[in-house]
């Protein structure tokens, strides 16, 4: 079951603490002490193709960092795989200009530490659709290599696959070695309908995802067990109740939740938007989520906006960065990845 314009199953993303981000100094005469992400959406042209590119996810924010997203480029418009690139964000304290680009092996430490992600994708990508990557960093590992060792990032990787006909949420990890040797279906989250776009809250107490198990797509949640082992918490939370988050629900389809700090962003085609799917946000205050708010016409369009992900970096920027996908005109074709700055909550 494929989608071309309005995907029946959509993205999701990622959850983790934001790490430090270096602001690049391109010479003397520094004028800007604080960076500012652009107020109008910017097409991430180096990452996009004529095909559908969306579902992005970033586990942490830095000068150069790993970015995963779904695309049907490998199949020339057929099934969707998860793609991995290094993303570079650079802010000039001299000119105030921002650069977004694809990182490379010149950022050798980041390249080496995250090289295992590419190996993970060889295990999880199939002739079916893979959506909603959610990379969870859980520490550093070391593997002997000749006379020394290689340092690498340990990840838990959540995603969805529709081999069974409907999307089911799966998990793989490299916590034992640098290899991703086990793929596990998270049966307690899955149903006879589509389930995808898992996302953890900041304190890793709840996991959220999208499902159409009751007809329309809604956002569901379950409470995780609390221990010192996040993998165990995710795997062994099946006895906990699953609830639809009522305040986030609407008459339309509500998809692709992602949580950063106290804000959840998601996509919805509920009445009152600007057309197609729009991006909304809700704040977690006093133990509950607030009524969702549309991001407005500067970010949303009459076309489809999907899979938003927010990353906050309060030490160097006066606003937060949001990545999302859209099939609006002016891109390379299909859905493209975009970046925009939003007010920090």
| Nearest-angstrom CA–CA distance, 208 and 200 | 6
Structure tokens at 227: 């221990």
pLDDT at 110: 83
pLDDT at 298: 97
pLDDT at 105: 64
pLDDT at 183: 96
Whether the Cβ atoms of residue 114 and residue 178 lie closer than 8 Å to each other:
no
pLDDT at 19: 30
As averages over each run of 10 residues, the pLDDT of the chain (345 residues) reads 35 31 48 88 94 73 79 95 91 85 77 90 96 90 70 92 96 91 95 96 93 97 93 92 96 95 96 96 94 97 95 83 95 94 90
pLDDT at 140: 83
Structure tokens at 73: 């480029």
Whether the Cβ atoms of residue 210 and residue 193 lie closer than 8 Å to each other:
no
At residue 247, φ and ψ (nearest 5 deg) are -65, -20
DSSP state of 319: S
pLDDT at 29: 63
Task: Of 165, 222, 228, give the one whose Cα is nearest residue 1.
Answer: 165
Whether the Cβ atoms of residue 132 and residue 198 lie closer than 8 Å to each other:
yes
| Nearest-angstrom CA–CA distance, 164 and 192 | 10
- Segment (H or E) for 250: none
| Nearest-angstrom CA–CA distance, 125 and 134 | 14
pLDDT at 184: 96
- Cα angle value 176/179/184 (rounded, 5°): 75
Whether the Cβ atoms of residue 149 and residue 143 lie closer than 8 Å to each other:
yes
């Amino acid at each position: 079951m494929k989608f071309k314009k309005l995907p029946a199953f959509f993205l999701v993303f990622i959850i983790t603490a934001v790490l430090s981000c270096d602001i690049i100094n391109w010479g003397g005469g520094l004028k800007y002490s604080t960076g500012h992400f652009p107020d109008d959406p910017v097409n991430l042209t180096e990452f996009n193709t004529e095909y559908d590119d969306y579902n992005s996810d970033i586990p942490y924010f830095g000068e150069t960092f790993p970015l995963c997203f779904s695309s049907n480029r490998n199949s020339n418009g057929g099934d969707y795989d998860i793609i991995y690139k290094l993303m570079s964000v650079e802010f000039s304290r001299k000119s105030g200009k921002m650069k977004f680009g694809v990182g490379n092996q010149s950022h050798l430490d980041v390249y080496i530490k995250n090289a295992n992600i590419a190996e993970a994708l060889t295990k999880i990508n199939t002739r079916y659709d893979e959506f909603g990557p959610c990379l969870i960093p859980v520490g550093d590992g070391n593997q002997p290599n000749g006379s020394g060792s290689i340092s690498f990032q340990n990840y838990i990787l959540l995603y969805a696959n529709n081999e069974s006909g409907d999307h089911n949420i799966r998990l793989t990890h490299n916590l034992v070695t640098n290899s991703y040797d086990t793929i596990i279906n998270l049966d307690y989250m899955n149903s006879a309908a589509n389930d995808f776009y898992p996302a953890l809250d900041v304190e890793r107490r709840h996991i959220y995802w999208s499902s159409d198990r009751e007809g329309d797509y809604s956002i569901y949640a379950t409470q995780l067990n609390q221990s010192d082992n996040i993998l165990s918490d995710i795997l062994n939370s099946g006895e906990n109740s699953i609830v639809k988050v009522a305040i986030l629900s609407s008459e339309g389809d509500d998809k692709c939740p992602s949580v950063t700090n106290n804000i959840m962003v998601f996509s919805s085609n509920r009445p009152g938007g600007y057309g197609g799917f729009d991006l909304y946000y809700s704040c977690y205050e006093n133990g509950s989520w607030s009524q969702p708010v549309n991001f407005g016409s500067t970010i949303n369009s009459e076309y489809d906006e999907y899979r938003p992900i927010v990353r906050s970096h309060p030490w160097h920027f006066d606003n937060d960065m949001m990545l999302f996908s859209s099939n609006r005109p002016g891109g390379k074709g299909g859905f493209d990845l975009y970046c925009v700055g939003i007010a920090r909550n």
